[in-house]
Copies of this chain bind each other. A is one copy, B any other.
């Protein structure tokens, strides 16, 4: 049972394809009688316009591309969730691409998305990406584009991010307030906008408390497997060693916590641990992990909304802007009451 086409309907009803096409789109130039006939028949045969043909014809494809480094990552899977929710409501489909943190794959994915004639792109940069010419080209072509989370401020497009500076500032401040002075920062590759902002927030808090910045305390992970252990060892070998860890991701936090416990270090007695995270089980960890949470789903939703706005009324474009969503600091150290601070 091949899909029903306009041609089938035209044939069956002894009409021309153009008449059927117009009837289906409820055109004013078709008689009510013909419309009824066509509509009913189409309904009965469960006619669905072929989106491929529509795309080829040059109108919209009703598809959005989402390009992320990794799906199997709480932040991104939650963000995609938000994107998909909005897209679905507005009649768009979502085609997902993963870059696996590779610049090459990012470029290839962008090309593919374009040749698939998506109506717009949502993108979060790979950690390898420092050159954004491929995105500039996209913008020059007039392709609707919204960046989220890992963005490139120099690009004239809408960007949706969490308040990474504020979150890192709040996190570091909290550690300082509870008496920590040697705060290690275990973070993600330094090209990334979010890494830079978090580092800036961390430094700002240190400065505020008159604690000198020590670059030895900052280490960059690479998304490799089991990378936290060695980095933790390096940090513990410093003298004096850190009395707190501020990590920039779920993965680093879990790796760090595992490494610390394996080495018999009391958390948070000897060393405190606080992390950016989107994991659902931070409060069930041993010890419960204090966290800075990004509103992943909301970021996805907002980004998708902006993109669809851009697509559907390119003319009255309000121009690019950067949207910062607040992060939430949740303190879960067993010794103190549960507290929330919104940055």
User: Which residues from chain A sit less than 8 Å from chain B, CB to CB?
Assistant: 1-3, 48-53, 55-56, 61, 70-74, 77-78, 80-81, 84, 88, 93-98, 111-112, 114-117, 137, 140-141, 251, 254, 257-258, 261, 279-281, 283-288
Minimum-distance CB pairs A-B, first 7: A286-B286, A72-B81, A72-B77, A77-B77, A96-B96, A52-B55, A52-B56
B283 touches A284 (CB 8 A): no
A115-B48 in contact given A140-B1, A284-B254 (Cβ < 8 Å): yes
A117 touches B285 (CB 8 A): no
A96-B95 in contact given A71-B84, A115-B50, A254-B281 (Cβ < 8 Å): yes
Which residue in B1, B51, B97, B285 is a CB contact (below 8 Å) of A116?
Answer: B51
Residues of B within 8 A of A111 (CB): 48
How many angstroms from the CA of A93 to the CA of B112 in the assembled complex? 9
Given A52-B52, A71-B81, A84-B98, 18 new contacts (CB under 8 A): A2-B141, A3-B114, A50-B117, A52-B55, A52-B56, A52-B61, A52-B115, A70-B81, A77-B77, A88-B98, A93-B95, A93-B116, A95-B95, A95-B96, A254-B280, A261-B284, A285-B285, A286-B287
Give the interface centre of A73, A84, A258, A261 by most chain B CB atoms within 10 Å: A84
How many angstroms from the CA of A274 to the CA of B281 in the assembled complex? 16
Chain B: minimal CB distance from A162 (Å): 17
Residues of B within 8 A of A55 (CB): 52
Residues of B within 8 A of A97 (CB): 93-94
B285 touches A281 (CB 8 A): yes
Chain B: minimal CB distance from A260 (Å): 10
Residues of B within 8 A of A80 (CB): 71-72, 96
How many angstroms from the CA of A343 to the CA of B284 in the assembled complex? 28
Residues of B within 8 A of A1 (CB): 137, 140-141
Residues of B within 8 A of A280 (CB): 251, 254
Give the interface centre of A3, A93, A111 by most chain B CB atoms within 10 Å: A93
